[in-house]
């Protein structure tokens, strides 16, 4: 990874921590897949856009309805638990 790419990732991670009031280091707990039968959803203010069959990194299990995740483009957001499947 180049220095420029590394700095860009660090900036994105700092932005995530500020936006979601997340303290501490960002650790991936597990990976989960968006249900292939789910409809594609656009993201909102803090919701992650979803594509059926996409693999997401789980950062935090926030509550019974939502999970805080990161996609392959290093974007962060909440995802409904109802559309997530374990790998």
Residue 6 lies in a domain: no
Residue 79 lies in a domain: yes
pLDDT, tens digit only, all 87 positions of the chain: 688 888 888 888 888 888 888 888 889 999 999 999 888 778 778 889 888 999 999 999 988 899 999 998 888 999 999 899 998
Residue 37 lies in a domain: yes
Q: Could you tell me the CATH number of the domain that includes residue 80?
A: 2.30.30.40
Residue 9 lies in a domain: no
Residue 38 lies in a domain: yes
Residue 13 lies in a domain: no
What is the domain count for the chain?
1
pTM: 0.83
Residue 35 lies in a domain: yes
Q: How far is CA 78 from CA 5, 6, 57, in A?
A: 25, 24, 11
Residues spanned by the domain of 64: 23-86
Which long-range contacts does 67-75 make (Cβ < 8 Å, 24+ apart)?
67/32, 68/20, 68/22, 69/32, 70/26, 70/28, 74/9, 74/12, 75/43, 75/48, 75/49
């Amino acid at each position: 990874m180049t220095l420029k790419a590394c700095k860009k990732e660090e900036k994105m991670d700092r932005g995530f921590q500020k936006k979601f009031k997340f303290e501490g280091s960002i650790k991936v707990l597990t990976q989960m897949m968006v249900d292939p039968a789910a409809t594609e959803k656009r993201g909102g203010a803090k919701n992650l856009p979803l594509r059926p069959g996409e693999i997401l990194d789980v950062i935090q299990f926030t509550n019974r309805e939502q999970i805080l995740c990161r996609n392959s483009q290093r974007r962060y957001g909440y995802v409904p638990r109802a559309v997530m499947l374990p790998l």
